[in-house]
Amino acid sequence: MHPEPQPPGAPRPTPWYGVLYVQVLAAIVAGVAVGYAYPGLGAALKPLGDAFIGLIKMMIAPVIFCTVVHGIASMSDLKSVGRVGLKALVYFEVVSTAALAIGLVVGRTVRPGAGFDIDATALDPRAVESYVRRAGEGSFVDHLMAIVPSTFVDAFAKGDLLQVLLVSVLSGVAVSRMGAPGQRIAAAVDLAGQMFFRIIGLIVRLAPIGAFGAMAFTVGAYGLGSLWNLVQLVATFYLTSAIFVLLVLGSIARLNGFSILRLVRYIGDELLIVLGTSSSETVLPHMIQKLQTLGASPSVVGLVVPTGYSFNLDGTNIYITLAVLFLAQATNTPLTLTQELTILAVAMLTSKGASGVTGAGFVTLAATLSIVPDIPIQALAILVGIDKFMSECRALTNLVGNAVATLVVARWEGALDAGRLTRELAGGPGRGTTDAAPMAGARGLPS
């Protein structure tokens, strides 16, 4: 039988070797092989991964600004902004607390640090000095004030997500109150957003190169053997995160009308990029695009996704409580149930300061230990060597958690096209991955 001829103008099917997730997966395998066989060369390839992450990060602030401003400006009722924000924060707090509690329960049950018998006084504290210093900088009020940029442009220069989000929300509200002139500004912002997504489409094609360099450096610098000493902790963390995604997030997804497995398959390209770079921020602009393609309102996506990168880091939350109990067990530091609950309460606060960048989870862990004096802070040195491997799982879980959160909040708000969501998820991986996301004409929130 001969294949049916393609109609004129129909897009040609992409060969398997041209699919992004196949290229990224092949690059990751090649990076591991190069790093293992030639450690010096692997370590020297670090700039490839750094350059790719840098290219993506330079686009995050303008994409968030355009998405949020256009989304808010398209709302007929500004009360919708506060309503969406409140629903998102309630969801974040409930699910984040569940993630912290699961890490605590697994740490108590599996006891991955039992039998290590590490003498914390013999550890070199210099290995963790920078993390402890970063975690201890400023008071709670200082951290709140840090959300306010010194100038409008400073928020974009620093690339601070919360500062950019604040500026974007204020700008969106102002544009929405300007009437007809504001609509012209919103249209211009929409065009700028489409341009930025086109740029991102070009950058993402370089993802295999970035993933290759990042994985070659990881294996070349730390070696595969660095996993074996703490393999129980690594395995426990990965298994716990998988259970959290399948059971907790899976149940939430099913209650809201979609399958977690189909969602994971749909964002497979992004998950592989995160696996290679250990940072969920590298795919933030693309996730905004894909979630809109799934049928979520740009207004909801523009508010929930950037906020989730600071307040809804499920993988980081699991890691914090599990790692704290691991360090307590490894250093033979007994903890009462009251102390463990105190750790849970402290982690509920410190975890909100994390972001989706590489290493942020380790800084958050240092902040938690700084507030809980029972466990020696120098014990963090135990985890320095394997944090790179742990950060990959944190970033993957964070990404899936934020995707689920956005779709759930959109459904609660009545701003999710359920039919489109079902059709897109049934289409398989790679659907919706285009050079530009449709911002203009997208349905806003109901008034």
Instruction: Tell me what pLDDT residue 89 has.
Output: 87
Secondary structure (3-state) at 296:
strand
Instruction: Tell me what pLDDT residue 273 has.
Output: 85
CATH class of the domain defined by 19-426: mainly alpha
CB 148 within 8 A of CB 163: yes
Is residue 154 pLDDT above 90, yes or no?
no
- Which among 17-26, 78-87, 197-206, 310-319 has the top mean pLDDT? 310-319
pLDDT tier at 169 (50, 70, 90 boundaries)?
confident
More confidently predicted of 139 and 224: 224
Is residue 435 pLDDT above 50, yes or no?
no
The average pLDDT across 353-357 equals 51
Instruction: Tell me what pLDDT residue 8 has.
Output: 54
The tokens of 107 are what? 């740490």
What is the rounded average pLDDT for all residues in the chain? Answer: 78
Instruction: Tell me what pLDDT residue 98 has.
Output: 94
Q: What CA–CA distances, in Å, run from 389 to 160, 227, 231, 314, 395?
A: 25, 8, 11, 17, 11
Is residue 379 pLDDT above 80, yes or no?
no
Rounded to 5, what percent of the chain is helix, strand, coil? 75, 0, 25
